[in-house]
Amino acid sequence: MLANYVPVIDNPVYITGVALFFAGLLLCFLNERLFVRSLDASQQAPPSVWDPFRVTPDVVTALKTTALAYLVAMTTFLVSWAATPHELEAKAYYELVFWGGGHVLQVANVAAMLAVWLLLLSSLLKSPVLSAKTAQVLFALLLAPHLIGPLLTLNGTLTSTYRLGFTRLMQLGIAPVVVILLGICVRRLRAAWRGGVIGKKNLYDPRLVGFVASAALTVTGFLMGSAIRNSNTMIPAHYHASIGAVTVAFMTITYLLLKPLGFVLPGTRLPRLIPWQICLFGFGQVIFAIGFGLGGMHGLSRKAYGVKQHIRSMGEVIGLGVMGVGGLIAVAGGLLFLLLMIYAGQSRIPVGIPQPKLESMARSNV
């Protein structure tokens, strides 16, 4: 069932698996770190030492917002499940159950992405991006509107309040805070460039490349979202860009996590592929979303496959072509990420992929 946010297989085993997955994440988030006040990271290490994973107060606020948003999403799912008539046809039933909580879940995704932005840039600039108070204000503004999520379901999931309420929250409750925080990040980077903290040598730094790719996809997603007028491929163009922004941020932070977790990319050539992998996936997704959006501008139907999809104009053909090219580039970036992770884990996981092939890719800057 292609329900929005959580596609499902209408089978008890699958539903049980989804429930266990959600519950496992909830147990991960609900621990003492969510409730205690974090110490300033600068008090925990000498000023001369900068650990890429020194979690500064602004990052802590972002991570706590992620956990709280996830808790609100799970609560909304439960209330929606209780408020939805079970006798409905399966496709409509799952759509209604997951509609509200799915919107709130996107807030958790965005908060996690912003936490990664702050972590990447604080590591690059060797100082926190936001003051503790500024972070608290911004993330409170991001989370607060969505606290009404469970309340929107109280009159049932068949009402216009449920459907339109979450749509308006998505349209108005996320973008303003993200745009403000993005502006602060750009200003900090510009000041660091002018002050000599970063320079041309950092243009290939995966932390900067990952941030730029994620930010570019975020802006693309917002622009696509603002252009939605009808049910066409502008809608999936919007959410593929938005989801891609979160994904490329997580890919980037994974590279910084390798060393602390005891993994390492062997040799000196393989690490050179990291910024190229991020570019392939991130900007391939941008091209993919632009192609999807271009097709939607010319009337390309959403969720229409095979004989149901009618290509009526050159604009639709060009849009699909651009989308295909971008998709291939993004897939290449995703496969390269997978290969790099396999190599990073080869000291613990036996693999049989010949290393010279990837090293030749690094030499030719593919």
pLDDT at 228 over 60: yes
pLDDT at position 80 over 60? yes
To the nearest whole percent, how much of the chain has pLDDT over 90? 57
Question: Which stretch of 162-176, 191-205, 294-308, 339-353 has the lowest confidence by average pLDDT?
Answer: 294-308
At residue 192 the predicted structure's pLDDT band, cuts being 50, 70 and 90, is: very high
Helix (H) or strand (E) holding 236: helix 234-258
CB-CB contact of 264 with 347 (8 Å) = yes
Buried b (16+ CB within 10 A) or exposed e, 338-363: ebbbebbbbeeeeeeeeeeebbebbe
Assess whether pLDDT exceeds 90 at residue 345: no
pLDDT of residue 113: 97
Q: Would you place residue 296 in the very low, low, confident or very high pLDDT band (cuts 50, 70, 90)?
A: confident
Q: How confident is the model at residue 354 (pLDDT cuts 50, 70, 90)?
A: low
Mean pLDDT of the 346-362 span: 59
pLDDT attached to residue 332: 96
**Do residues 271 and 313 touch, judged by C-beta distance below 8 A?**
no
Residue 232 in 3-state DSSP? strand
Query: pLDDT tier at 287 (50, 70, 90 boundaries)?
Result: very high
Mean pLDDT throughout 166-187?
93
Mean pLDDT of 120-144: 93
Angle at alpha carbon of residue 27, lines to 21 and 29, rounded to 5°: 105
Q: Give 232's strand partners.
A: 301
Beta pairing partners, 301:
232
Residue 166 pLDDT greater than 70, yes or no: yes
pLDDT at 48: 45
- Range in 122-136, 319-333, 337-351 with the lowest mean pLDDT: 337-351
pLDDT of residue 47: 46
In whole angstroms, give the CA distance from residue 173 to residue 214: 19
What is the C-alpha to C-alpha distance for residues 76 and 95, in angstroms, rounded to an integer?
A: 14
Tokens 């104009």 found at: 313
**pLDDT reading at 364 higher than 60:** no
- CA 234 – CA 291 distance, rounded (Å): 9
Q: With 60 as the cut, is the pLDDT of residue 327 above it?
A: yes
pLDDT at 315: 73
301: three-class secondary structure by DSSP: strand
* Average pLDDT score over the chain: 86
- Tell me the pLDDT tens digit for each residue of 276-285: 999 999 999 9
Q: What is the pLDDT of residue 154?
A: 87
Which residue bears the tokens 């606290």? 147
pLDDT, tens digit (0-9, with 9 covering 90-100), for 249-273: 999 999 988 888 888 888 778 888 9
Task: Give the whole-number percent of the chain exceeding pLDDT 70.
Answer: 86
**Pair 38, 109: CB distance under 8 Å:** no
Buried/exposed 112-138: b ≥16 CB within 10 Å, e otherwise: bbbbbbbbbbbbbbeebbbeeebbbeb
Residue with tokens 């390269």: 336
The tens digit of pLDDT for each residue in 4-59 reads 888 899 999 999 999 999 999 999 888 777 877 655 444 444 444 456 667 889 99
